[in-house]
Structures are given as C-alpha cells and as structure tokens.
Structure 1
Amino acid sequence: MSDAVLPAVLTEALARHGDRVAVTDADGSLGYAELADRARTAADRLARYHARGERLRVGLYATNSVEYVVAYLATLYAGAVPFLADSAFGPFELSRIAEDCGLDLLIHAPSADVRSVVDEMLDDDGEFGYLVVSRARRYDTPRPELLADTEVCRFTSGSTGRPNCIEFSGAAASAAAANWAKGTGLSADDRIACFAALSNGLAFNTSLLAAFLTGASLHLSHGLPTATRVVRLLEITAATRLVAFPALYESILRRSPEEGFATVRTAISSGAPLRETVREGFTRLTGVPIHNYYGVAETGPLTYAPDGTGSGLGAPLPGVRLLAEEQGIRLRSESMGSRYLNAPGVFERRVDDEGYYRTGDQGHLTDGTLHLTGRTSRMVNVGGRKIDPIEVADVLRGAPGVLDAVAFEAGNQHGEPTLAAVVAVETGTTAQSLRTHCVATLPPYKVPGILRLVDRIPANSIGKPSIERLRRLLDTPHGN
C-alpha cells in the first residue's frame, strides 16, 4: 500500500538514527543504517512471490533474533502483511492459523516443525540469515479478506482453543509504540534487554517499534530465558531496561545473583500477575524497581506504573481513556485493534456504542492508579450452578502432592458442560486422593467431573496455562 503507515515511520526512524546500534543478539549486531539495508534487500526477495493478486500474507514463526527483526521489517517494506505467530504454538495451533488466515508464506527456523502447513521451502540468497522462507499450503476454505488499513496481525494466546487473529492498522501499531515511549520516558540513551517474545504484546509494544522511534538499542537473547542468560545479557549490553514476564523475575529471585544489574534502571513486567512478594524481593536483591504495566492484546498498552512501587498497575498511558465501572473495565485507545480476521463479529460485540472495548476485567481507579480485582466472566455453569474455576484450582493446589492446578469448563462424555481440572502432581499422588481432598472442602457440585494428572502444566510463551493444550490432555484415557 502506497499510503501504508509503518513503512514510512520505520524509514524515517532508521534514517534518523544512522550508525547507532539498533538490534543485537548472541550472533551479531546491526546499526540502524545496516538494519534498513538488510530489510530492504530481504523485502526485494519477498516481493518476487505473488499472492493471488492480493497483499502477501507472511507468517513469522521464530524466536527472538536479529533475523526476526529483519524479516518483520522486510515484510512491511514489501507491502505485505506480517502475521506474528507465537513460537510456542505447536503444529496444531499453527495449522489453524495458516488455514484461518490464508497465509501465503511462512518465515521460520529450518528446524521448526512446519510440515503440516507448508508445501515447499523456497530458495533464497541468505537475505533472512538463518531463517528460511516456505510457501504455505493451499486450503479448500476461502480465506477472509483483510481490512484495507491492516498492516500487522497478532494473535491471542489460543486459550479458547483457536488463536484469534487481531488486525491492527498501521496507525494503531505506530500509536502503541509512540505512546509507550512518551508515557514511560523511553529515550535514545536506553538499552533494552528483551526476554519476551516479539510476537507478544509485551515486547511488541514496548521493545520493537518503540525502541526504533527513539533511537534506543534492542538486545535479544536466543534460547530459553533463564536467570543466567538474563544476567549475562545485562552485563554484556549494560542494559538500562529489562522486559520480561513474571516467571523470569521469579527465576532471578530464586537464583539470587549478586551482580549484573548495575546499569538497569527499570524492569517491566506484564502478561500474567506478578506476586507482590516477588516484586519486593527482586527490588531488595537488585535495587531495581519492577514497573507493572497493564495491556490487553486487542487494545495495546494501557497503563504504566512509573515509580515501581505499590500494588497498582499505574495510570493510563497517553492515548488511553479508561473507565472502571461496576460492570467491568471499558476503554478506548489509539492502539486498539480493528477486529478478529478469523472470528467475524466476536471482537465487534465487545465494543459498545461509544467505541469502548469491554475487557472482561474488573477493577477500580484509586488516585488515578488502576487496580485489578478479577474477571467478569470466569464462572462455569454446570447444571444450572455457577462454579468459580479459580476457587476450585486454589483448593486443588492445597492438596498434598500438588504442584499446580488449572480448572476450566469442558464437555463430558455426553457433550454436556462439566468442570475439568488438570493437576501437576508429585509421584504417588492419585486422582482419588485429590477427589477426597475436594469432597472434604467443596460442595459436591464443585468437585471436578474430569481430572487429569500431569508432571507439568503446559504453558504458552508468557507463562500462562495453554487451555488448548490442556483440553487436548482431556483426550488421554488415564488419570480421570
């Protein structure tokens, strides 16, 4: 599109910052001018592939790296639409995305299991580094049309069984980055150590375009993020900002490193609840405050806590109008998505006549600071009785031998709604012992009708339980 927003914004930003370091990983580094050159060359390669007379739809399915950033920018420069798939998605989720969204190409690591979604690997001259480009298979189902102003697509976590594809206009994606930079004081002097996947809203909104707008440098890590990797990257890059999910802060606190945080001024957390004991312990250990941030996948970054103290999630960012009401939190933002490409009408039903998005979260604003208190629609209806799955999961966690538990609605053998629970347990713990524990604590109708025992709760890349994978565990014949 000749009037596309993101290519123009990126062209201006990359030209303005010239020889400054733009992005690094364990294998290399690119300055702003080099990044622009690499992205343009790769864009020329993508432009050779045609897509049914429409804009190319390019899936990005890889972990964080310099090459990922090159591929993302190249897709935009080629006039194509990037679809940022979580690298933690398995073949099942990936195949649904490819079919639902009608992908033309997939950029991925050579070792990725993409057999179910690609027809052939395409030749290139190394424009994408270690990443490769494959042609996506054709499906019999017609693919949905993109909105005219859509420039990037991201996905929900897939917790409902099918990752919803959120369409974002270029203006919305640009506003998310600009308002984050303005609201948090991000500057060219910042060096961002990012351990959240760039496909996720936490990193996408705080560490990708936002860094390039300001001339900051973005430092990425390969492999599983561990406390050791965090400390090493912070020391090597003299990072001033750390972006990570709560689980990583817990890991750092358990390891208790004595060094590595001398240059870090700000740590940012989002994506899942951060326990107050972890936040306080991390700050005592490192001297670095953890700044809470509230965002919704469909609406972008919403609040930020600038002082890193207190239990609230901070005040609304620029471009955000937030209302905390008895019926739940409603909001409008300049960074809001347009709709779900693969779920017609679902997104639109959550937007009211005033243009406010109903988040499903409950909370209150106190002295301008947002505090979340729960969800408006988490109840499970079984036989006319309302059950809170969080309450049941908490009871299961209190049973001997239980490491973690997740409860959720599922269908029983007759297809009727029932409460299911997947429980991570120590060796020797039985389903019968868990049922006995529940019966002693809960009314009979709250005891899960289906129990599955596992070694570990499957999670997505931000540490949240993957309900889709948990549902698949219910198909196994044991542990019930």
Structure 2
Amino acid sequence: MLADIMTKALRDGGGRAQVTDRHTRLTHRELDRAADEQATQLRALLGPGERHRVAIQSGNSVAYLVAYLAVLKAGSVPFLIDRASGPREVQLIWQDCGLDLLLQDEAAAAPEVGTPRGTLGSLLATGLPAREDAPALHDLTQVCRFTSGSTGRPNCIEFAGAAVHRAAANWAEGTGLSGGDSILCFASLSNGLAFNTSLLSAFLVGADLHLGSGLPTGGAVSRLLASTAATRLVGFPALYESLVRRPADGTAPPNLRMAVSSAAPLRPDTRSEFTARTGVPLQNYFGVAEAGPLTFAADPLTDPGLGQPLPGVRLRAGTAAAPEVVQVHSQSMGTRYLNAPGVLEGRIDQDGFYHTGDTGYLSDGSLVLTGRTSQKINVGGRKIDALEVTHALLDVPGITDAVVLETPDRHGGSALAAVITAEPGFDPAEGRRRLSERIAAYKVPSLIRVVPQIPRGSTGKPAMAQLRGLFDTTGQPQ
C-alpha cells in the first residue's frame, strides 16, 4: 500500500520535481526508476520469503531515499535506525527485532554478528543471522522507527502504511505544502521531524526535497538556502542557533517562507533573532514519535504556544491554572512497540488517546507545554532516556552511583550532565571512554561531576536542585 502510494506520487511528480544532496540530483521519476532497480537487487540479496526486516542506518542522502523506497517495493519492512547509534545499539535492535539485513553508509560500524553481503547502491549491506525468537510483525506494519525505551533498549514503533500516509498528508494539508515548494531538510530522515514533514509529504504534492547532512554551520546553511531556492527550512534548534550566531550580513534568503523546528524547545531569543534577520517566522511544532505530527501554528508570531491541532488530530490538556498530562489522538498513531508488548497499548486509554508524558494546557486552541513527567531529555533534537544512560554509567568499572540530568550549556541550550560517585583512583577520562563503548556518542554526558556522595532526600530520591547547582560554577567538567 505504502509503496504504491509513493510510486504513484513520484510518477505524478515526473521530470519536474527533484530530490538532491551534495552529490546527487534525481527527478522524482528517476528516483522511482532507481528504486525499482534496487528492489530487484534487494530481492536477490534477501532470498525467498516475504516481509524481510531491512534496517537503514545512514546520513541524509538521495541514496537513503532510494534504499528506503526499494525496501518497500521489494515487499520488505524498513527499520529506520538513527545514524548516531553505535554497533552495540544496532546489535540490541537485531536481538530484539530480528533484522535480516542492515544497510549503512561507509561511516557507520556494523555489529559483530554481521556478515558483509556487498552493496546496495552506495550503502554497505550486512547480513544478520536469523533469530528464531524474533517477535512477529503486526499484519499492518509497513515501517518501523525507534524511540528511547525506559529499559535502556530502543523501543521499535510499528506503523501501518495508512498511519505513515496520513502523517504526511495531514502535514501537507495543515501547513499548506504545495508543488511550488522547495524543502531544505537537515533533520535526520529517521527522526519524525524529517520523516513526517519532508519525506512522503514532499512526494505527495510534488515538491522539491533537498537533503542537508553533517553539522549544519551557519555559512553552509545560508549557501544551501540560496542555491536550492528553498521555501521551507527544516532542522533542529541547533541549526537555527548556528545561523543566528553567525554575524549578520544584511541579506535574507529570498525565497524562504517557512522555517520549522521540533524535538527540543526553541530559545525565545533564537526565534526572535532568526525572524528579525530573515523576516520568516520560525515554527516550533509539536510531535510525538508514537503519534506523528500533532500541532502547527498558522500565525507563529501571535500564537501563545505550539499551534493548533493538525487535521486528523485531537488534543486533551489542562488549563493555565491547572496543567495536565497532554493526551493526543491522531490518524498517524503507531500500532505498538514490536519489542515491548503491551507498553504502548498501556499508554492509550479506552478512547484511543495516547498519554504523552508532557504536561500543558490549551490556550484559544493552541497547545502550551509546561513540563514533562518522563525521564527523557531533549539534547540537540535527540530524545535521550536518562535511565538508560544511568544504567550504562553504573556498568562502568569504578562508578558506584550516578544521576543523569539536563543542564544549560554555554549557549543557553540543553546539555546532558551526570553526577557520579566512584572508587578511589577512578579516572574520569577512562570512564568516559568505557561509557562510549556501551552507548551512542550523543548519549555520553558532556558534563560530568565526581562527588563523594550524591545528595538525596529522606525518600532516597536525588536532590536535583543541589545536583543542578554543581553545574552553575565556573569550574571545568571532569
């Protein structure tokens, strides 16, 4: 179903609309042909059978798009893994989900259990051993994506093809995306910010899609905005912070009409400075991995929060005087966690509303967030589970106690920090190296304090105010 929808959209886009990266430019019709060719190669790599589980772990590129569509055309299920995930995390996903094949760009490291199987386009193909105990996919599942799990293992969200389609179609309708648009996307395609706003949605309306990759410096983004004639810019807050830190030169992107951010809060001064320089409102929409894109502000300059519900979305929240856990109902809802039976279903009430863990209220129909109840921390647009990092720290030899928390970095954004106690003679640098072997690099705390004892209240809970105070000093992290 999803392959058919994408194929029709690409053929309707024909030879006018295009997808590009730094090295490649294909029309929508050429992208469709390339995917057909790779689907044939993929069937040969996989052998007999249906609904093979094919993971894609790559930076943004046209090659990623071709491979993704080829997996769907081959009748297999794509598992979209964050490019920053390390070999150990990929191996955990294989253990939990039973992957058959892993497609990676050259910079990614395959897990030890893999066997090289050649290439698919420019991506390296690694075969993975069959797992007899792999959980069965839901009958409707056509795409799987990941979010941090409370157990320290990534939760694999199963999506029906209809949910993926509605996420893209409702985003296009709710934001006025059209064939005249040109999207410049720096968010990773495995992340909902890009997946929902810039992938299928661009194809459905026949818009151009330009993919940025790597660390987005202000100069590089500005040059791409000009060269692609982008009308929409999609990226995490760090991208916009990089742009406003660059000295203003008095010029503004001539075609840009919309800038979209999500996954982490935007600093008010970043938003106002970006708008002052470009004349373009910076939209910070609300979305949840399990439920897709949820809100969008029609007029972000006057909207009191994160916007009104997109088509197909209903919200429940509290009042300004009494914020409550935000509950959402959408047409783009995930079905379940493949590797955590019952967990996602347990967060959905009898009316079909998902309990997000964020707290907030509705103001004239716009969602205003006031906090969160979960242990997930947003750093640079990535949601990191504090419990997962804590467990990894306690596995490092010499560390005896640990608390992971969020603190401001030197630019006023969010940083991942840890306070630990350790045995005599513990070397923090060696501990950091050991930690990086256990979790992805972006999950390693950038700030670490070693203390004789972690302050705790009478209930045994960490005294978070005291812990955050440790990072208010001028001392350097250990």
Q: TM-score range by the shorter chain?
A: 0.7 to 0.9
Q: Does 1:205 align with 2:189?
A: no
Q: Does 1:446 align with 2:438?
A: no
- CA gap 1:189/1:118 in 2 versus in 1, 3 angstroms: same
Q: What is the correspondence of 1:66-465 to structure 2 with a 5 Å cutoff? A: 66-122=62-118, 128-139=120-131, 142-157=133-148, 161-258=152-249, 259=251, 261-309=253-301, 310-325=303-318, 327-378=324-375, 393=406, 406=416, 424=446, 431=450, 446=463
| Cα offsets for 1:225-251 (capped at 9, x unmatched) | 221221121111010000000111111
CA distance in 1, matches of 2:277, 2:161: 41
CA distance in 1, matches of 2:341, 2:289: 17
TM-score scaled by structure 2? 0.80
Task: Compute the displacement of 1:67 (Å).
Answer: 0.5
Task: Compute the displacement of 1:406 (Å).
Answer: 4.0
Q: Does 1:45 align with 2:41?
A: yes
CA distance in 2, matches of 1:22, 1:321: 34
CA distance in 2, matches of 1:430, 1:171: 47
Task: Compute the displacement of 1:73 (Å).
Answer: 0.5
Task: Compute the displacement of 1:299 (Å).
Answer: 0.2
Contact 1:21 1:29 in 2 (8 A): no
Q: Which amino acid aligns with 2:15?
A: D
3-state DSSP class of the match of 1:47? helix
Aligned to 1:473: none
3-state DSSP class of the match of 2:339? coil
Task: Compute the displacement of 1:132 (Å).
Answer: 2.2
CA distance in 1, matches of 2:340, 2:278: 44
CA distance in 1, matches of 2:332, 2:112: 33
Deviates more, 1:40-49 or 1:240-249: 40-49
Task: Compute the displacement of 1:129 (Å).
Answer: 3.0
CA distance in 1, matches of 2:450, 2:9: 57
Aligned to 1:385: none
CA distance in 2, matches of 1:232, 1:161: 39
| Cα offsets for 1:167-208 (capped at 9, x unmatched) | 000000000000000000000000000000000000000000
- CA gap 1:308/1:64 in 2 versus in 1, 3 angstroms: same
3-state DSSP class of the match of 2:265? coil
In structure 2, the gaps of 5 or more residues are 377-385, 388-402, 424-442, 472-476
Q: Which amino acid aligns with 1:218?
A: L
- CA gap 1:410/1:203 in 2 versus in 1, 3 angstroms: farther
- CA gap 1:242/1:157 in 2 versus in 1, 3 angstroms: farther
Contact 2:46 2:101 in 1 (8 A): no
- CA gap 1:319/1:404 in 2 versus in 1, 3 angstroms: closer
Task: Compute the displacement of 1:393 (Å).
Answer: 5.0
- CA gap 1:433/1:306 in 2 versus in 1, 3 angstroms: farther
- CA gap 1:301/1:254 in 2 versus in 1, 3 angstroms: same
CA distance in 2, matches of 1:409, 1:430: 5
Q: Which amino acid aligns with 1:320?
A: V
Q: Which amino acid aligns with 1:245?
A: F
Aligned to 2:438: none
Task: Compute the displacement of 1:120 (Å).
Answer: 2.1
Q: What is the correspondence of 1:6-85 to structure 2 with a 5 Å cutoff? A: 6-50=2-46, 53-85=49-81
3-state DSSP class of the match of 1:148? coil
3-state DSSP class of the match of 1:354? coil
Contact 1:245 1:270 in 2 (8 A): yes
Contact 1:235 1:260 in 2 (8 A): no
CA distance in 1, matches of 2:213, 2:446: 28
Contact 1:120 1:136 in 2 (8 A): no
CA distance in 1, matches of 2:91, 2:465: 31
Q: Which amino acid aligns with 2:371?
A: G
Contact 1:404 1:424 in 2 (8 A): no
Task: Compute the displacement of 1:95 (Å).
Answer: 1.1
- CA gap 1:371/1:447 in 2 versus in 1, 3 angstroms: closer
Task: Compute the displacement of 1:444 (Å).
Answer: 10
Task: Compute the displacement of 1:271 (Å).
Answer: 0.5
CA distance in 2, matches of 1:444, 1:57: 42
Aligned to 1:466: none
TM-score scaled by structure 1? 0.79
Task: Compute the displacement of 1:138 (Å).
Answer: 3.8
Task: Compute the displacement of 1:256 (Å).
Answer: 3.2
Task: Compute the displacement of 1:51 (Å).
Answer: 6.3
| Cα offsets for 1:248-278 (capped at 9, x unmatched) | 1111110134335221100001000111111
CA distance in 1, matches of 2:104, 2:27: 23
| Cα offsets for 1:406-427 (capped at 9, x unmatched) | 46899999xxxxxxx98745xx
In structure 1, the gaps of 5 or more residues are 382-388, 414-420, 455-477
Task: Compute the displacement of 1:327 (Å).
Answer: 4.1
CA distance in 2, matches of 1:377, 1:158: 11
What RMSD in Å do the two structures reach over aligned CA positions? 3.4
- CA gap 1:410/1:42 in 2 versus in 1, 3 angstroms: farther
- How many residues were matched structurally? 419
3-state DSSP class of the match of 2:44? coil
Contact 1:332 1:355 in 2 (8 A): yes
Contact 2:304 2:363 in 1 (8 A): no
CA distance in 2, matches of 1:409, 1:344: 33
